Amino acid sequence: MDTLTALEALKSLAQESRLSAFRWLVQAGPEGLSVGELRERLDIPPATLSAHLNQLRGAGLVLDQRAGRVIRVRADYQRMNQLIQFLTENCCAGAAASCLPIAPNQEKKS
Amino acid sequence: MDTLTALEALKSLAQESRLSAFRWLVQAGPEGLSVGELRERLDIPPATLSAHLNQLRGAGLVLDQRAGRVIRVRADYQRMNQLIQFLTENCCAGAAASCLPIAPNQEKKS
DNA sequence: GCAATGATTCGATAATTCTGGAATTATCGA
DNA sequence: TCGATAATTCCAGAATTATCGAATCATTGC
């Protein structure tokens, strides 16, 4: 993932409603949620949610699929993963040791 | 790391100059860079850099240490790590399989 | 075709963030 | 103490982002 794309993704997640929306979608799993369901959970007006979703879409963090009148939205884990990878690489250059405590083959220390 | 803290960190990194600054600092290693060196690399006015550094400081992503007239700034890897951990946990809940392809003990699939 | 429902776009206002010159603070060396 | 250097704060204008009502688009069922 290049810097510009990462920046877009970061901008998209760096906002309360959008981060919250994304977390709901992640929690919902591969099925995702309809825009309406998401709106209920976030309790914000449709137009506002649409604007936020557009931002997340633009960053490639969510995908949607229309089913009749309902649009089902789901988190794009792959893209999220690329972001995490970008951050890991760009956080760890020159200090790998202190930046990989999450890896499953290591003890989670402290 | 709680959501609010993560949000602060994301906001701090979601800006071109600041992301760039942070990457320079990471690349510089534990020694970090002086504010002046950072300013040279980013090529932005002192006041602007100060504002960005304050943001990064507030998010706990950088630490500084005064040495005479010079303030040496370095990336806080631990904090960055916590952010990555937050994102990993909040990306992977309910979909762990597709969110850990980076782990060194797994094949990267697809 | 028409009414109803789910979602989006439009457009205007409010709020926030970014930027950078000028003034200020801190430290050093002579 | 003075002058120079490193960095910061102050503050105001510019630019961007967020918010959301109203209008619109898309789809369904009748």
- Residue A33 pairs with which residues in a beta bridge? A73
Are A81 and B103 an interchain contact pair (Cβ–Cβ within 8 Å)? no
Are A88 and B84 an interchain contact pair (Cβ–Cβ within 8 Å)? yes
The pLDDT confidence band at residue A97, using thresholds 50, 70 and 90, is low
With a cut of 70, say whether residue A84 has pLDDT above it.
Answer: yes
Summarised one tens digit per residue, pLDDT across range B47-83 is: 999 999 999 999 999 999 999 999 999 999 999 999 9
């992301």: which residue's tokens?
B19
Q: Does A27 touch chain B (CB under 8 A)?
A: yes
Strand ranges of the sheet holding B33-34, from the earlier edge strand across to the other edge: B33-34, B70-75, B62-67
Q: Does A96 touch chain B (CB under 8 A)?
A: no
Least confident of B16-20, B65-69, B98-102: B98-102
Q: Does B97 touch chain A (CB under 8 A)?
A: no
Give the whole-angstrom CA distance, residue B77 versus residue A99.
Answer: 7
């995702």: which residue's tokens?
A32
With a cut of 80, say whether residue B29 has pLDDT above it.
Answer: yes
Task: Give the per-residue pLDDT at B98.
Answer: 56
- pTM score, whole prediction: 0.88
Query: Residue A14 — φ and ψ, nearest 5°?
Result: -85, 40
Residues of chain A contacting B90 with CB distance shorter than 8 Å: 22-23, 26
Summarised one tens digit per residue, pLDDT across range A45-69 is: 999 999 999 999 999 999 999 999 9
With a cut of 70, say whether residue B94 has pLDDT above it.
Answer: no
Residues of chain B contacting A19 with CB distance shorter than 8 Å: 3, 6-7, 10
With a cut of 50, say whether residue A26 has pLDDT above it.
Answer: yes
**Closest of B58, B64, B77, B91 to residue A89, by C-alpha:** B77
Query: Are A71 and A34 spatial neighbours (Cβ–Cβ below 8 Å)?
Result: yes
The pLDDT confidence band at residue B91, using thresholds 50, 70 and 90, is confident
**How many other C-beta atoms are found inside a 10 Å radius of the C-beta of residue B78?**
14
Largest CA distance in chain B: 53
